[in-house]
Structure 1
Amino acid sequence: MDTAVRLVGSYTSRDKFIRLCQYILKFLAGQQKTNAGIRLGVISSELGACRTVLRLFDDVPMFAYSLSYGLGRKVYYPLEHIAWLADRKILERNSGPWGLACLVAWAVSLLTEIFKSILQIRLIRRAQIQLLKERELEAQEERETAEMSTSLKGQIKVLKSQERELYLAVIEHLTDLVNAINWLPPGFLWSGKFSARFTGAMGTISSAIKLYRFHKRTDSS
């Protein structure tokens, strides 16, 4: 029961859990034309639609976030909202260009996060190397104490934990990027070449990592 409450107890956690269920069902449905496959595909699509509608309420907090920290990772939300309104004929315009713009913005934001994470990994590795050098220097000068050694070990442990978190972030964003490019119009890299089962698998991996990282952050805070 406690686990279930943790998964659906907050909007952020619930969104990530719904996303995970959405992609698991997409993977299970695959390209099946059987009744079971069709039903799983319908449920997966409805879960995706549910997340889209809930994201309509994210504009105000995301706008505040953008003012504080820049454009952020979800600049595609307004584009998605316009595409959603056009699909439902609330706005009298073609939803295609807006949906494409949303995908492109998502792909660009994912690439930005990947490069940012790789840069942070490099900086963390340099910091670890510097700490190890300091430890060796202290040992050579015969000034190392048990307290200092423990302190350095603790710092290195924290850096290694941050490095593992960043590697997970890279995998998460890469799997999402695979899907984002696959859903672009045919002719760009691997767009349109992967099956529904493959995109379901990629989405499942990224969603599981998102959920794991979110709860790890909340547990440590």
Structure 2
Amino acid sequence: MSTFVIRSQHSLTCGWSVNCEQVGVSYVNSRVNNTQNIQLPPQFTNYIRVSEVELVSFEIISDLVQYSVLISAKMSKPLNTLCDMLETYGGRDKVMKALCYSAKLVAGLQAKKNPELAKKFGTFSSKISGARATLRLVDDFPMLQYSLEYGLGKSEPDRTMSILGVLANIVDHIYYPVEKICWLAEHNLINVQDPDKWDVINSVFWVMSIYLNLMRENIEKILARQRMEIITIVRLTLDFTHAVSTLPKGWLWGGRLETWHVGLIGTTSAAIGIYQFIKKRSKH
């Protein structure tokens, strides 16, 4: 056994004794005051090369351990939430949407100040948007399942809601094939006579889909005055504003929004979507 001396005016409480015993330190008294001798096992002499250690160092190490445990506990919850989101298709799409439109926002704000930086963020936004469109290629099957389960909307509280629900499903079933044609044409996998025309048709059905779902939310949820559903209406309104902006000039406010406007709208919508996802998961 090798002897090391602790010199301090502080005291070592019983709580510390447990920690010391865990690393092989033995002593007689449960409280150490002033100067006491502590025996260390021989294997510790390979790591400890000092003859005097201040007790304050033990206190600092303990505090650091406690703080690290607290920080780890605080970080684990948001990390787990993020991982839970990324494990689902809808959650991952929300994260990618946030990345896409936040990058577009930066690109729009830096367009005049730093064109090179704006170009990089614009490219990043475009690639993420393309990845989201690629993942939507197989959305037809979940949509078909939902439509079959929904049927004629018999579960809705009134006939108006049922009609809106059925119309929204029909529009979505037209929208997805049109989007696929646009995707295939964009990647030169098929030849179409007027690609821009298909893009306009795609935007029209996108606008119609969001509008119908927005009307459903307005009728059903505003009357209920539920906070989370009102937030959904705000998100759908933002998506509707964005969707209309993709229409040609002369169609409502189509083509009038600047890049940073679209980025801000999209980022806000994505943030609301992520917030709703987290709140929904926290309830289960």
| TM-score of the two chains, using structure 1 as the length reference | 0.77
Question: Whose Rg is larger?
Answer: 2
Runs of 4+ in 1 over 4 A off after TM superposition: none
Question: In structure 1, the residue corresponding to 2:255 is in which secondary structure?
Answer: coil
Say whether the 8 Å CA contact 2:101–2:266 is kept in structure 1: yes
The match for 1:119 among 219, 224, 230 is: 219
- Corresponding position of 1:107: 207
Say whether 1:25 aligns with 2:103.
yes
Say whether the 8 Å CA contact 1:79–1:98 is kept in structure 2: yes
Structure 1: 5+ residue runs without aligned partners? 126-162
**Identity, % of aligned positions:** 31
- Corresponding position of 2:143: 62
Structure 2: 5+ residue runs without aligned partners? 1-78, 151-165
For 1:122 and 1:42, the matched residues in 2 are separated by 39
The match for 1:91 among 180, 190, 204 is: 190
Q: Give the number of the structure whose residues are more often helix, by fraction.
A: 1
| TM-score of the two chains, using structure 2 as the length reference | 0.61
The match for 1:16 among 94, 112, 115 is: 94
- CA RMSD, Structure 1 to Structure 2 (Å): 1.8
- Corresponding position of 1:52: 133
Say whether 1:187 aligns with 2:187.
no
Q: Which has the larger displacement, 202-211 or 59-68? A: 59-68
For 2:105 and 2:222, the matched residues in 1 are separated by 35
Q: Give the number of the structure whose residues are more often strand, by fraction.
A: 2
- Corresponding position of 2:181: 82
Deviation at 1:214, TM superposition (A): 2.2
Q: How many residues align?
A: 184
Q: Which has the larger displacement, 30-39 or 49-58? A: 30-39
Deviation at 1:74, TM superposition (A): 3.9
Say whether the 8 Å CA contact 1:19–1:48 is kept in structure 2: yes
Deviation at 1:13, TM superposition (A): 0.5
